[in-house]
């Protein structure tokens, strides 16, 4: 049987056993299809962050890399495994290890989770202005009353015969510098329990505060709702989830929703 020519052996004969030979082989592996899997190597261990190349067809041991196959996503991960940065690289773009390290210091490319509420992506401050309404009730379009659930941390809607169990609210107005919106908090009267947003289709939670917050920012923005009146209808949009309203369904917990089948408007008698 005829011996199959060894192309790599022929290449080896063309180069001496030095760095030039190593660089040529690496360059070849990046610019042609190979029947063998290319080996992947990690970056220097003394880097603060470790970088992972996603969808890259091949890598080499050189300090400069060229990705040929497709748009390449490069991600930086912290020591705890949390994704810090992501960047797409164009076709045939060459870059060095220093470029990767620089990505972690580029604050404009910080990845923020789409599922995370807007409260963690905002530095808006809401300052207490005044008490707007005291000991009022909310009724939905089915004329259901709002009352405290048995766990004492959620609210429910139902038609009550004994109105002694109906929850009464105090409303406090806040200033944010945006005159187009009217930010408020809803507190259960005679308590320190404030209505707080938890996400779409999630029941609102009653959060106990040591006192009426004078300034609300950061993770506490889930306490803020934008109050809007349209004729006799009252709407409360979450500051933490700007597309969601305080809502009810028939005989169910008060929650956040975009609209139907939930009811998002209330009457204040």
Query: Is pLDDT larger for residue 26 or for residue 110?
Result: 26
Burial class (CB in 10 A: 0-12, 13-18, 19+), 114: exposed
| Residue 13, pLDDT score | 54
Phi/psi at 88 (5° precision)? -95, 135
DSSP state, residue 110? B
Q: Per mean pLDDT, which range of 89-93, 124-128, 166-170, 202-206 is the poorest?
A: 89-93
The first and second tokens of residue 172, run together, are 């406090």
Query: Is pLDDT larger for residue 125 or for residue 58?
Result: 125
- Of the candidates 56, 9, 10, the one whose C-alpha atom is nearest the C-alpha of residue 30 is 56
| Residue 177, pLDDT score | 86
| Residue 111, pLDDT score | 36
66-75, 82-91, 180-189: which has the highest mean pLDDT? 180-189
Q: Per mean pLDDT, which range of 14-23, 154-163, 239-248 is the poorest?
A: 14-23
Question: What's the order of all strands across the beta sheet hosting 252-253?
Answer: 145-148, 155-158, 252-253
Q: How far apart are CA 141 and CA 128, in angstroms?
A: 30
DSSP assignments along 215-243, one per residue: EE-GGGGGG-EEEEEETTEEEEEESSSTT
| Residue 123, pLDDT score | 80
Phi/psi at 152 (5° precision)? 65, 10
| Residue 6, pLDDT score | 56
Q: How far apart are CA 77 and CA 225, in angstroms?
A: 35
Cis peptide before 105 (omega within 30 of 0): no
State the pLDDT confidence band at 5, using cuts at 50, 70 and 90.
Answer: low
Model confidence over 95-148: pLDDT tens digits? 455 554 554 444 333 333 333 445 444 589 999 999 999 999 999 999 999 999
The first and second tokens of residue 223, run together, are 């306490």
Q: Any bridge partners for residue 205, and if so which?
A: 196
Mean pLDDT value across the chain: 73
Name the CA dihedral angle for 181, 186, 192, 195, rounded to a multiple of 10 degrees: -100
In contact, 240 and 119? CB cutoff 8 Å = yes
In contact, 173 and 215? CB cutoff 8 Å = no
| Residue 78, pLDDT score | 47
Q: How many CB atoms lie within 10 A of CB 129?
A: 13
Phi/psi at 64 (5° precision)? -105, 135
| Residue 134, pLDDT score | 97
Radius of gyration of the chain (CA): 30
For residue 233, pLDDT over 80 is answered with yes
| Residue 98, pLDDT score | 54
| Residue 153, pLDDT score | 96
Model confidence over 201-229: pLDDT tens digits? 999 999 999 999 999 999 999 999 999 99
| Residue 1, pLDDT score | 53
| Residue 243, pLDDT score | 96
For residue 62, pLDDT over 50 is answered with no
């Amino acid at each position: 049987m005829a011996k199959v020519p060894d192309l790599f052996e022929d290449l080896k004969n063309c180069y001496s056993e030095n760095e030039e030979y190593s660089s040529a082989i690496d360059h070849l592996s990046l610019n042609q299809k190979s029947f063998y899997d290319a080996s992947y190597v990690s970056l220097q261990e003394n880097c603060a962050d470790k970088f992972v190349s996603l969808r890259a067809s091949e890598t080499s041991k050189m300090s400069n890399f060229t990705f040929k196959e497709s748009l390449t996503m490069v991600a930086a991960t912290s020591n705890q495994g949390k994704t810090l940065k992501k960047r797409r690289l164009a076709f045939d773009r060459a870059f060095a290890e220093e470029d990767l390290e620089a990505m972690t210091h580029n604050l404009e490319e910080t990845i923020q989770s789409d599922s995370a509420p807007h409260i963690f992506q905002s530095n808006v401050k809401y300052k207490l202005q005044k008490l707007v309404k005291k000991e009022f009730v909310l009724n939905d379009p089915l004329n259901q009353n709002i009352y405290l659930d048995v766990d004492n941390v959620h609210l429910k809607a139902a038609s009550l015969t004994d109105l002694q169990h109906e929850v009464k609210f105090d409303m406090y107005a806040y200033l944010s510098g945006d005159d187009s919106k009217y930010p408020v908090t809803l507190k259960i009267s005679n308590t320190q329990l404030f209505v707080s947003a938890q996400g779409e289709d999630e029941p609102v939670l009653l959060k106990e505060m040591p006192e009426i917050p004078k300034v609300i920012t950061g993770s506490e923005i889930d306490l803020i709702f934008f109050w809007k009146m349209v004729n006799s209808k009252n709407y409360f949009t979450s500051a933490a989830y700007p597309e969601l309203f305080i809502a009810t369904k028939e005989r169910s917990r008060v929650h956040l929703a975009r609209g139907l089948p939930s009811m998002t408007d209330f009457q204040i008698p």
